[in-house]
Amino acid sequence: MKEGKPLWKGVPERLSHELKSVMEKLSLGGQLVQYLFTGVTVGSIYGMVALGFNIIYNVTEMINFAQGEFVMLGGLIMVLCAKVLPLPMAFCVTVAAVTAIGAIMERSTINPLKNTTVLTLIIVTIAVSILLKGIAMFIWGKDPYMMQPFSGTEPLHLFGAAIQTQAFWVLGISGIVVLLLTLFFRKARYGKAMLACADNAEAARLVGIKVNLMVLLSFALSAAIGAAAGAVITPISLMEYDRGALLGLKGFGAAVLGGLGSFSGAVVAGLLLGVVESLCAGFVSSGYKDAVALLLLLLVLFVRPSGLFGNVEASKIKKF
């Protein structure tokens, strides 16, 4: 071995290896803490992506498959901004930029299509996601991008488990996002108007709510949430042009699991999905991790087709 802690000096190499590997073993409790933390961190990102799906779904009844691309753009723009701006500024610029992209997407591709079916709109979002991916590949190339964690690279040791400080940022930011969203939908005029659209777009229009504007707002809002998720996860996972699709898929899984349209359901299901994946990778087999997550999704849907927190009555009226 190259480096030598003084403790191991003089110990024959073979023996020192044995000793070290014994020392390296973690207690079961420590392992559990490690898996849970990893799961909750990844899970909160799934939750945030799911929230983005739900906001748009609630207002328009469509699924925006470019949601994962917002996360990817958030991460890559953040890497770019963090090089020239201080972190809080870079974060704000990133979120603003991706919000603008979300709004432009709605105005240029969704809004012009009048009198069309939800299915057509969903296919349009798939086209946009491919387009965004292509543009990102042109700008950033195919290499993954790395970013320093927001606060120090030294991991924190908790019950023998090593936890990246960035994980706390992920949890904190997703907590704030959930809190702000709740406040927005409960207190703000526009939030209430959006919820009204979700309940019944026709009735909302009759009482004077501009449904058109609400759709734009929903795209901007979910782009912003996606950007925030991308910006905080990049120091942990790196980011490259084609990661959006998988994050989008996992987030969609969480949204369906929690019940399409339910905000609390999205968060809980996201966390659940993340933790189950991580525990499965840790205790069962890392190869089946994705399969187990999907199996869980299928099982829940068999028992409760409207999702964990979905409204059975409401899901009967909706098209999806």
Partner 1 sequence: MRRFGKGWGGSVTLTFCLILVWSLAPKAVTAKEPYKVGAVFAVTGGASILGEPEKRTAEMLAEEINKKGGIDGHKLELVLYDDESDETKCRTRVTRLIKTDKVPVIIGPSTSGNTMAVIAVCDESKVPLISCASSIKIVTPVSERKWIFKVAPSDSHSVERIYEFLLKKGIKKVAIMTVSDGYGSSGREELLRVAPNVGIEVVADERYGPKDTDLTAQLTRIRGTGAQAVINWSVGPTQILAVKNWKELGMTAMTFVQSHGFASKKNIELAGGAAEGVFCPLGRVNIPDLLPATDPQKKVIMAYNEAYQGRFKEPLSAFGGHAWDALQLAVEALAAVGPDPAKIRDYLENRKNFVGQGGVFNFSPADHCGLTKDSFEMVVVKNGTWALAQ
Q: How many CA atoms lie within 13 A of 232 on its CB side?
A: 26
Token couple for 73 = 């753009």
CB of 182 to partner 1, least distance (A): 26
290: contact with partner 1 by CB under 8 A:
yes
Residue 276: its H or E element: helix 263-279
Q: How far is the CB of 88 from partner 1 (least distance, A)?
A: 22
Site membership for partner 1, residue 133 (CB under 8 A): no
Q: Which residue has the tokens 């702000």?
A: 180
Query: Contact with partner 1 (CB under 8 A): which of 18, 100, 176, 180?
Result: 18
The residue with tokens 């904190």 is 172
H or E segment to which residue 250 belongs: helix 244-258
Tokens 């969203």 sit on residue: 181
Q: Which is nearer to partner 1, 213 or 291 (CB)?
A: 291
In terms of CB distance, is 137 or 203 closer to partner 1?
137
Within a 10 A sphere around the Cβ of 81, how many other Cβ atoms? Answer: 19
- Based on the shown chain and the rule CB under 8 A, indicate whether residue 191 belongs to the binding site for partner 1: no
Longest dimension (CA), the chain: 84
CA dist., res. 195 & res. 199, Å (int): 6
Closest CA to 185 of 54, 318, 46, 49: 54
Q: Is 83 in the site for partner 1 (CB under 8 A)?
A: no
Q: How far is the CB of 45 from partner 1 (least distance, A)?
A: 7
Q: Long-range contacts: 204-211, Cβ < 8 Å, 24+?
A: 211/59
Q: Give min distance, CB of 240 to partner 1, in A.
A: 6
164 binds partner 1 (CB under 8 A): yes
Binding status of residue 189 toward partner 1 by CB under 8 A: no
State the binding string over 232-251 for partner 1 (x if CB under 8 A, else -). -x--xxx-x-xx--xx----
Q: Does 289 bind partner 1 (CB under 8 A)?
A: yes
Q: Quick check: 24 binds partner 1 (CB under 8 A)?
A: yes
Phi-psi map region of 238: left, alpha, beta (phi>0 left; psi -120 to 50 alpha): left
67 binds partner 1 per the rule CB under 8 A: no
- Which residue ranges make up the site for partner 1 (CB under 8 A)? 1-3, 13-14, 17-18, 20-26, 31, 34-35, 38-39, 41-42, 45, 142-146, 148, 153, 155, 157, 161-162, 164, 233, 236-238, 240, 242-243, 246-247, 278-279, 281-283, 285-287, 289-290
